[in-house]
Amino acid sequence: MGCEGYSPGVLKKIEYAGGNGRSFESAAESLERLAECSISARQVERLTEKLGKQRGGLRDQDVEAMKARTLRSPYKQAPAIAVVMVDAGKAQFREEDAGPGVHGAHWGDVKAACLQTYSDVEFKRDPQPDPPEVFLDPDRVERLCREMEKVRGTSTKDETRKLPEQKKKKTKKKRKKRHQRPARLVRTVVATTAAVEPFGWMVSAEALKRKMYAAKKRAFIGDGGNWIEPLGQMHFAGWTQILDFLHLLVHLFAAARLLFANNPACAWKLYEQMLRDAWAGRVQKVIDALRLQLDRLGSEPSIGKGARHVVELALDYVVRNRERMDYACYRQQGLPISSSLMESLIKQLNHRVKGTEQFWNDGGLEAVLQVRAAYLSQDERVDAFYENRPRSPAVGRHRLKPFQPTG
């Protein structure tokens, strides 16, 4: 038995339930029903947070070792393709030590990174010159944009009419030849409530441990946010910097829809034109199209200031990130061009940490994020943690009491 009064096997079940269940209450219920382990939700919380803090401590040791240039990778062989994706989600926080109930509720960031390796594939030409059908279907594009806003916690009230369904021409679908894609291999995850600077070091240390800096091909994918670019330049200089295509799509779609709010056909035509140019890496054509529309807005005062602002934002977004938009070249090298895996990861994190009745303090959420990240990682870190974990004092009222000799 461990010092907490539970065997390592039971302790692992408690940690898994506490870090992956919907809440500590549901974790306690699952343990009771599935593992026949009777434990209170409060005790699940204590143990999960304690184990999460220990995992976080090991992560911080790696960061310090990297800064001291003493961190070494346990792997002998570097991956063929290494890709780092970063993004941020949202969680609800509360004031600590403010008494019973929720006080000072507010939203805060949860930063996350997906470190993914791939098998090596390279092509003589662009293997997919045409955009995927999902990007050319009005209904699916609309849903995609709304879903991305919902996942990131940035959804706002739409000021325009929903793009109506358009009549689709009935054409005989040709069976497209599927091109060979790089196989996804191993994913590991970094997640934290910390600020950008320490987060950057955490991601960099994880990449170094996985020998990603020695990979044949290396890519860093982000959404073009003002905090992501400096992180990529500082910790992943020399890597291929890629603007996530999904976020670019959202900007182009929003601009086209607002420019022609009362003419869905024209809105879609403009969006599709810009999308195809962007997909092919014809960045200047996208810039020219947005500038042309801005000039048109000057002669049409009936279009509100809101539309101009959105178009200006889209234009600035493309201009700032034009060096990260050579998508045809990236595909030819076998590199991914979207952070769809990152969006999926944010959803998986949100499943545990984001909910209408979930309000966290910084320390508690940080600890749970370490547990969640460990179990979302596809390596052996979960078992390795227990194999190397030293015995430690218990937590809570169920801890074992020290031996008291009698007589």
Domain boundary assignment for the chain:
8-116+183-242+339-388, 120-157+245-332
Alpha-carbon distance values, 67 to 112, 196, 211, 227, 313 (Å) = 21, 16, 16, 21, 37
β 106-118/184-192 pair status: antiparallel
Alpha carbons 346 and 150: distance in angstroms, whole number: 11
Where does the pLDDT of residue 72 fall: very low under 50, low under 70, confident under 90, or very high at 90 and above?
very high
Where does the pLDDT of residue 84 fall: very low under 50, low under 70, confident under 90, or very high at 90 and above?
very high
pLDDT per position as a tens digit, 329-358: 999 999 999 988 998 999 898 888 887 667
Q: What percent of the chain lies above the pLDDT cut of 90? A: 63
Alpha carbons 264 and 266: distance in angstroms, whole number: 6
- 151, pLDDT greater than 70: no
Q: Are 144 and 134 in contact (CB under 8 A)?
A: yes
Higher pLDDT, 109 or 326: 326
- Any residues with CB less than 8 A from the CB of 363 and at least 6 apart, and which? 49, 53, 96
State the CB neighbour count (10 A cutoff) for residue 382.
15
Higher pLDDT, 151 or 171: 151
Alpha carbons 221 and 17: distance in angstroms, whole number: 32
Among the residue ranges 82-96, 139-153, 363-377, 386-400, the one predicted with the least confidence is 386-400
The per-residue DSSP string of 223-247 comes to: ---TTHHHHHHHHSTTSEEEE-HHH
- The H-or-E segment that residue 114 falls in is strand 106-118
Burial class (CB in 10 A: 0-12, 13-18, 19+), 314: buried
Helix/strand/coil for 339: coil
pTM for this model (two decimals):
0.85
pLDDT per position as a tens digit, 280-293: 999 999 999 999 99
Average pLDDT over residues 259-281: 95
Alpha carbons 368 and 45: distance in angstroms, whole number: 9
Alpha carbons 186 and 28: distance in angstroms, whole number: 31
pLDDT per position as a tens digit, 178-198: 667 789 999 999 999 999 999
The tally of CA atoms less than 13 A away on the side-chain side of residue 206 is 30
- 307, pLDDT greater than 80: yes
Alpha carbons 335 and 333: distance in angstroms, whole number: 6
pLDDT value of position 8: 86
Where does the pLDDT of residue 87 fall: very low under 50, low under 70, confident under 90, or very high at 90 and above?
very high
Where does the pLDDT of residue 303 fall: very low under 50, low under 70, confident under 90, or very high at 90 and above?
low
Among 179, 114, 166, 124, residue whose Cα is nearest residue 348:
114
Helix/strand/coil for 46: helix
- 206, pLDDT greater than 70: yes
| Phi, psi angles (nearest 5°) of residue 333 | -85, -5
